[in-house]
Structure 1
Amino acid sequence: MTYKNFTVETDADGIALVTWNMPDKSMNVFTVEVMDEIEAIVDATVADEAVKGVVFTSGKSSFSGGADLTMIKGMFSMLHEEKVKDPANAVQKLFDAAGRMSWLWRKIETNGKPWVSAINGTCMGGAFELSLACHGRVASNAKSVKLALPEVKVGIFPGAGGTQRVSRLTNAQDALQMMTTGQTLTPQRAKAMNLVHQVVEPDQLISAAKQMIKDGLKPVAPWDEKGFKAPGGGIWTPASAQLWPAAPAILRRETAGNYPAALAILKCVYEGLQVPFDTGLRIEQRYFTQIVQTTEAFSMIRSLFISLQELGKGARRPAGQPKSDIKKVGVVGAGFMGASIAYVTAAAGLAVVLIDRDMEAANKGKAVAENLVAGAVGKGKMTKEAGEKLLSLITPTEDYNTLSDADLVIEAVFEDRDVKKAVIEKVEAVLPEGAIFASNTSTLPITGLAKNSKRPVDFIGVHFFSPVEKMMLTEVILGEQTGDKALAVALDYVSMIKKTPIVVNDTRGFFVNRCVFRYINEAYDMLIEGVPAVMIENAAKMAGMPVGPLSLNDEVAVDLSQKIMKASIADLGADAVVPEHMSLINKMVDELDRRGRKNGKGFYDYPAKPLKKSLWPGLKDLYAQKKPADVDVTVLKQRLLVTIALEAARTMEEGIVTDPREADVGSILGFGFAPYTGGTLSYIDGMGVKTFVELCEKLAKDYGPHFAPTPLLKEMAQKGETFYGRFDPYGAVKTAA
């Protein structure tokens, strides 16, 4: 029998090698078709008496990334359609669909013949759960091999037996830590946790897997044998008596109760360890069915799984533009930002010329890249040879003539219009016809900068976030005259450096910075009202933000906030900035020299290591302090999230952002907006636009007109619309404009 996605070869020893190699896919993923073929292979190998055992591996450099987009979308579409017709039956169908993979893996586990998973590369989610259902597991020791059950990061949890098998293979504490955080394991760590049996050289992987079968591997899982006990003795032991009472509290400390899937993992493990294995699978299946129906799961899967992949694959790329042939990139400005851009560009295999005013400055820029390479090599994330190759692609220079054959030039000089104007003129004097000029400005409108260009159709913004090598988001900004080719080249470049782009139209602060400074400004309001700084920071974290607004302000620099405020007043008038905000920041910078982390003192104090940062005690002396008991933490949380979401809604109304996927993904990747919400617009859709408008009106009454809902929001509330309904990203072919 032949299969579309698998080959099956049985050797003289009766061992069937099943190789998963999906055509036209860079990575194997689970689809309904793949599942059907796996089941057919199980049936065929069981029926074939010549087959003594099965080795399951991948024909690609990775093992599998887990479920396919279409499979996830299909589950949600089915649920939505069935709920309209028959709500009760919809849940039953969801329950059955949720259990398909789980019971298929159980079929492998109980088929009567030994199966060994030979893990040759990245093995995530359902693929790792399949491996755990095999009787033997062998992993290559290649650095590319990573194993994880990361489902909690997209709002769900390992629902194909993961919670039951991991907790029966390793101790409960490690199992919970791994699954509630989505922790990625090396093969060595997985072996130490008893999740794989052997770690071998890549060229020995298949032979080692076959040898396990030849050595008499039993086709029975440990939990199916009489007398099985979970590591540590299960639930009713002294160690468990210490673990389980504290586990929910520890989880709440880490998640603030915002991630129901993480709590469901605790329940699955705690309840599952007290019952037979098959009953444990049914417990897992029921909790999975419940979690999939939550707003958090729907929103997180849509934004962090589906939309993230769609944007990464060029969802906003203009139709009809040929694939860009980018071979050489120029980076002008060898400061930390420019040097980091050169680093990620060279890491993608592209030649880079790194230009600055003189060779000393250019060489300093390359030294930044050298330090980044040294750090990556030291941590084992890059080989010495790969690091040397990367650095060989970066050429520091002061000569603009080296740009005469560049395909793309990225300007990353100081945020000053005159400085950028001079750079644009120098670059365009030598830049070949058809090459694209991109500015990395973070605050200056692209249309204004493009007025200095002789070919504004080839002028675009590409805004990186610091640290460039870690931040996965890039804003691509369209000027009024930016053409489709410039957009296509920018998006292709961002794809090559393995970052996720969002496309935004031109405005001061673009999308991310507008939202970030709205978050910070709300914290200024709270400080001025007398809310203790520690309550502001803790409320932000309880709301799901990764860092508090005052800590974030220190990171971006308090004096940068001052510069932006002054520039806004100069360009837009005094009303562009709240006077009390300006007074606060002027005092922090000019009187107290508290500029943020960079000079060791801002809203926080930054003592020498190993001491940790702490809020500056003097903050409480700036304004009369309220008693903590008089401050409603729930309202603080609402204000911090609502002010950001409202700003995101304004960008949609103004046409700055035109696709809700980009507002959601951009807000999470750009500044960590409460991931459990699915992003800024999913936060609004999740509670309902009508409810959001009512909340805005209440906050506006109590805390100021900046909370007033926009005309668009009021209209949507009246019509019962959602952002994903009104601005349906799939309703028509999206264009850049």
Structure 2
Amino acid sequence: MTDTMFRWDKDADGVVTLTMDAPDAPVNTMNDTFREGLVATVERLEAELAEDPKSIRGVIITSAKKTFFAGADLTEMVKAGPGDAAAMFEMVQGMKDALRRIERAAVPVVAAINGSALGGGLEIALAANHRIAADARGSKIGLPEVTLGLLPGAGGIVRTVRMLGIQDALMNVLLPGKQMRPAQALKAGLVDEVVEPGELLDRARAWVTSPEATATQPWDEKGHRIPGGTPTSPKLAMMLPSFPANLTKQLKGAPMLSPKRAMQAAIEGAQVDFDTALTIESRYFTELACGTQSKNMVQAFFFDLQHCNGGGSRPRRADGTPFPTTEFRKVAVVGAGMMGAGIAYVCAKVGMEVVLKDVTLENAERGKNYSEKLEAKALSRGRTTEEKSKALLDRIHPTDSYEDLHDVDIVVEAVFENTELKHKVHAEIEAAVPDTAVLGSNTSTLPITELGEAVERTGDFIGLHFFSPVDKMMLIEIISGENTSPETLAKALDFSVQIRKIPIVVNDSRGFYTSRVIATVINESMRMVAEGHQPTLVEAASRQAGYPAAQLQLADELNLKLMKKVREETEAAMRAAGHEIEDGGVAGLVNRMLEEFDRPGRLEGRGFYEYVDGKRTRLWPGLWSELGAGSIPAEETNLQDLVDRMLFIEAIETQRCMDEGVVVEDADANIGSIFGIGYPAWTGGTRQFIVNYDRFSGRPEAAKAAGVVDGALPDGTPTLGVPGFVARAEELAAAYGERFTPPASLKG
């Protein structure tokens, strides 16, 4: 027995309370200390029961932390590679054995879940005979491993299948990876009771000493049947073939391994005994934990998100001390179009007073109407109350007068993307606001340093690039111009935290980071069409790469008119700098779409796609009949090449941004690419795709067919890491052009 992780307290009635309390750590995780403590605790429990079966009446498992248990130690997890598979498998099996011994003990066990129990935390609770959750603020319960490229590896799949049935376990818990509130977890069947926090331990003790307490798990009882049946049950057997088909449809062909392996573990495990099912689960877990996708997703969705949300890019004073945190109470949004209206809404939603300014009061009120519609929808769905909705809307003050900006803390300019217009507006803003106000500009492409030329307080001027729709998109790209002061950058980061956005920090450049990078993949996709590839295959390649939206669809969303304008400005700047332009026919394609066929995009109801009542229906047949697209027969297109061209063109442009100092931190690149421009989640982001590259990620059968051994093809070409990325980029450069030539910084 160790006293470093599990505290053992036995009362006069023989009830043992096991309190998990990881030393020198804010949360409990499944690390070596936990595993050693778990085994020692099990051994003590078994020894005392063997000596005197009546000495222990029951066991309560709880936590001394604010959370119950945080799951796996991800710092350890990301270190595992293919060579660690055997050790990983044995470690997981050993931990499962200890949990199995607890649930097969001769006394009832109850989990008193005092806070969040995610992943491994819930798996510990599932090994108890009864689960009681405190209705604690912020508490989340669930098995989110699939969203990190993993699967529940401590019995979570095996136990939920036997508790809920294959279909409910997969569709409601395992595949979506939902993090549920205690009441939702109760409804889903993951916990048995929900009580007030102050009642938790009393209720746990009452249950474990009650006549209803049982020491036997349902699946260990003779004759237990999995709810809904096993894969051999006639009714389920009829439905089973649709499961992988529906999953493929949900994934849209993306090479995501974790949901596939979770489904396999659930279905295969349901056909064998409990302990064999645990072994099957361990094998699939080991494959994922030692593979590249889990490392990519853990890096992005855990470590990189922590960096961005935790102020990892927040500057300090010259002497190293932090700038004081700024609290913003009143914001001005200048420009009440869709973007400005969305910014006003998210600011008002967190309690800020908002002055929404436009050239006419009618326009400003129309901008407020955007918030009114959102609140009406929220009310109809029961997500807010009349009182809260009214208070939010009352905080938005439409105006056509700059005089109403006299006491704001920060301004976000959100007028049309035109340098001259923005210069005029910025000068007017500076004259109207206090000298202490932060001067922000929402722009997706125009250089911040250039825009700041219209103001005198250039140190207070900063770029705040929101993404549309603002109320749904979580990212904000903060752009520091050449003259932006570190203090202003710190204030901008405080603002982003206050409005609950994920901030990334970049330096000035035309297009900054996100717009600059996304332009490359949209242009590459239109180049494919111009080359003669079937537009349907171009879109299929987007989906198979794992993009949330296909690229021609995205071009319609962004609008070809705007894209043409941005492209022309960018090309003019490049020519002025002495660079040659070779676009592979993209300009000609866009010009014909606009000038000959008047198909600018979704807003006008016609673009690469056709639309009915605003809804996308099909690719425009004129792509073939009028534009002559699709001259290359489908069977002559290498679909994997199309996939790689999309992924690589964005990754290479990201590397150029890193080399130029536009992006400094890998975390900003990864989070910006995933949350801002839809780079596939399984990659971990554009930089992670490079540093942890796997040519056959999610395609083990293809790797086997290609003869990959120890991270190389039979001819010695590397397939992993930066060397693998460089090798594949050079192949693409040889086949499709110099734009794929890997930057020299990757070859050192």
Classify the TM-score, shorter chain. Answer: 0.7 to 0.9
Aligned with 1:376: secondary structure?
A: helix
Structure 1's unaligned 5+ residue stretches are 720-737
Q: Check 1:207–1:363 CA distance in 2 against 1; reply closer, same or farther (3 A cut).
A: farther
Encode CA deviations 1:484-513: one digit per residue, 9 max, x unaligned: 111111112212222222211111111111
Q: Within 5 A, what are the aligned runs for 1:457-536?
A: 457-536=459-538
Q: Check 1:24–1:460 CA distance in 2 against 1; reply closer, same or farther (3 A cut).
A: farther
The equivalent of 1:158 in structure 2 is: 152
Q: Within 5 A, what are the aligned runs for 1:41-440?
A: 52-53=57-58, 63=67, 66-67=70-71, 71-77=73-79, 79=80, 90-99=84-93, 102-117=96-111, 123-138=117-132, 146-177=140-171, 178-185=173-180, 190-191=185-186, 193-198=188-193, 212-213=207-208, 214-255=210-251, 256=253, 258-319=255-316, 320-328=321-329, 329-440=331-442
Q: Check 1:409–1:577 CA distance in 2 against 1; reply closer, same or farther (3 A cut).
A: farther
Tell me by how many angstroms 1:408 deviates. Answer: 2.3
**Does the CA-based 8 Å contact 1:327-1:351 persist in structure 2?**
no
Encode CA deviations 1:297-318: one digit per residue, 9 max, x unaligned: 1122112221112221111111
Q: Check 1:581–1:95 CA distance in 2 against 1; reply closer, same or farther (3 A cut).
A: same
Partners of 1:36 and 1:370 lie apart in 2 by: 56
Partners of 2:162 and 2:322 lie apart in 1 by: 53
Q: CA RMSD in A?
A: 3.5
**Does the CA-based 8 Å contact 2:69-2:116 persist in structure 1?**
yes
Tell me by how many angstroms 1:164 deviates. Answer: 0.5
Aligned with 1:322: secondary structure?
A: coil
Aligned with 1:451: secondary structure?
A: helix
Tell me by how many angstroms 1:577 deviates. Answer: 6.8
Aligned with 1:264: secondary structure?
A: helix
* Percent identity for Structure 1 against Structure 2: 39
The equivalent of 1:725 in structure 2 is: none
Partners of 1:303 and 1:269 lie apart in 2 by: 27
Query: Which stretch of the first structure deviates more once superposed, 568-577 or 505-514?
Result: 568-577
The equivalent of 1:586 in structure 2 is: 591
Tell me by how many angstroms 1:521 deviates. Answer: 0.6
**Does the CA-based 8 Å contact 2:78-2:298 persist in structure 1?**
no
**Does the CA-based 8 Å contact 1:415-1:441 persist in structure 2?**
yes
The equivalent of 1:627 in structure 2 is: 633
> In structure 2, what residue type is equivalent to 1:241?
A
**Does the CA-based 8 Å contact 2:547-2:679 persist in structure 1?**
yes
The equivalent of 1:442 in structure 2 is: 444
Query: Which stretch of the first structure deviates more once superposed, 533-542 or 112-121?
Result: 112-121
> In structure 2, what residue type is equivalent to 1:616?
W
Tell me by how many angstroms 1:390 deviates. Answer: 3.0
> In structure 1, what residue type is equivalent to 2:610?
D
Partners of 2:389 and 2:97 lie apart in 1 by: 45
Aligned with 2:495: secondary structure?
A: helix
Partners of 1:641 and 1:250 lie apart in 2 by: 25
Query: Which stretch of the first structure deviates more once superposed, 337-346 or 144-153?
Result: 144-153
Partners of 2:328 and 2:624 lie apart in 1 by: 55
Encode CA deviations 1:202-245: one digit per residue, 9 max, x unaligned: 88766765554435221221112222221223232213433445
Partners of 2:183 and 2:742 lie apart in 1 by: 53
> In structure 2, what residue type is equivalent to 1:137?
R
Encode CA deviations 1:141-187: one digit per residue, 9 max, x unaligned: 89966543111111111112111011111121222223233245566
Query: Which stretch of the first structure deviates more once superposed, 119-128 or 545-554?
Result: 119-128
**Does the CA-based 8 Å contact 1:300-1:677 persist in structure 2?**
yes
**Does the CA-based 8 Å contact 2:673-2:685 persist in structure 1?**
yes
> In structure 2, what residue type is equivalent to 1:396?
P
Aligned with 2:423: secondary structure?
A: helix
Residue 698 in structure 1 maps to residue 731 in structure 2: yes
Partners of 2:600 and 2:636 lie apart in 1 by: 31
Q: Check 1:366–1:246 CA distance in 2 against 1; reply closer, same or farther (3 A cut).
A: closer
Tell me by how many angstroms 1:19 deviates. Answer: 7.7
Partners of 2:35 and 2:415 lie apart in 1 by: 52
Q: Check 1:30–1:245 CA distance in 2 against 1; reply closer, same or farther (3 A cut).
A: same
Partners of 2:656 and 2:295 lie apart in 1 by: 24
The equivalent of 1:734 in structure 2 is: none
Partners of 1:376 and 1:10 lie apart in 2 by: 49
Partners of 1:505 and 1:354 lie apart in 2 by: 28
Partners of 1:559 and 1:525 lie apart in 2 by: 17
Encode CA deviations 1:491-549: one digit per residue, 9 max, x unaligned: 12212222222211111111111121111111111111121111110111011111110
Encode CA deviations 1:612-658: one digit per residue, 9 max, x unaligned: 52111111120252221121212111211111111112111222112
Q: Check 1:123–1:466 CA distance in 2 against 1; reply closer, same or farther (3 A cut).
A: farther
From 530, 543, 546, the equivalent of 1:544 is: 546
Partners of 2:127 and 2:86 lie apart in 1 by: 25
Aligned with 2:612: secondary structure?
A: coil
Partners of 1:289 and 1:548 lie apart in 2 by: 32
The equivalent of 1:563 in structure 2 is: 565
Partners of 2:114 and 2:400 lie apart in 1 by: 45
Partners of 1:299 and 1:392 lie apart in 2 by: 44
Residue 689 in structure 1 maps to residue 722 in structure 2: yes
Partners of 1:352 and 1:6 lie apart in 2 by: 51
The equivalent of 2:457 in structure 1 is: 455
Partners of 2:398 and 2:156 lie apart in 1 by: 50
**Does the CA-based 8 Å contact 1:29-1:64 persist in structure 2?**
no
**Does the CA-based 8 Å contact 1:463-1:474 persist in structure 2?**
yes
Aligned with 1:230: secondary structure?
A: coil
**Does the CA-based 8 Å contact 1:155-1:300 persist in structure 2?**
yes
Aligned with 1:516: secondary structure?
A: helix
Encode CA deviations 1:425-458: one digit per residue, 9 max, x unaligned: 2222243344322211111001101111212222
Tell me by how many angstroms 1:707 deviates. Answer: 2.2
What TM-score do the two structures reach when normalised by structure 2?
0.84
**Does the CA-based 8 Å contact 1:330-1:408 persist in structure 2?**
yes
> In structure 2, what residue type is equivalent to 1:540?
S
Query: Which stretch of the first structure deviates more once superposed, 553-562 or 235-244?
Result: 235-244
**Does the CA-based 8 Å contact 1:113-1:219 persist in structure 2?**
yes
**Does the CA-based 8 Å contact 2:507-2:662 persist in structure 1?**
yes
Aligned with 1:613: secondary structure?
A: strand
Structure 2's unaligned 5+ residue stretches are 694-719
Partners of 2:730 and 2:683 lie apart in 1 by: 21
Tell me by how many angstroms 1:130 deviates. Answer: 2.6
Aligned with 2:464: secondary structure?
A: strand
Q: Check 1:399–1:643 CA distance in 2 against 1; reply closer, same or farther (3 A cut).
A: same
Partners of 2:675 and 2:138 lie apart in 1 by: 24
Residue 646 in structure 1 maps to residue 652 in structure 2: yes
> In structure 2, what residue type is equivalent to 1:658?
V
Q: Check 1:617–1:57 CA distance in 2 against 1; reply closer, same or farther (3 A cut).
A: farther
Q: Check 1:101–1:312 CA distance in 2 against 1; reply closer, same or farther (3 A cut).
A: farther
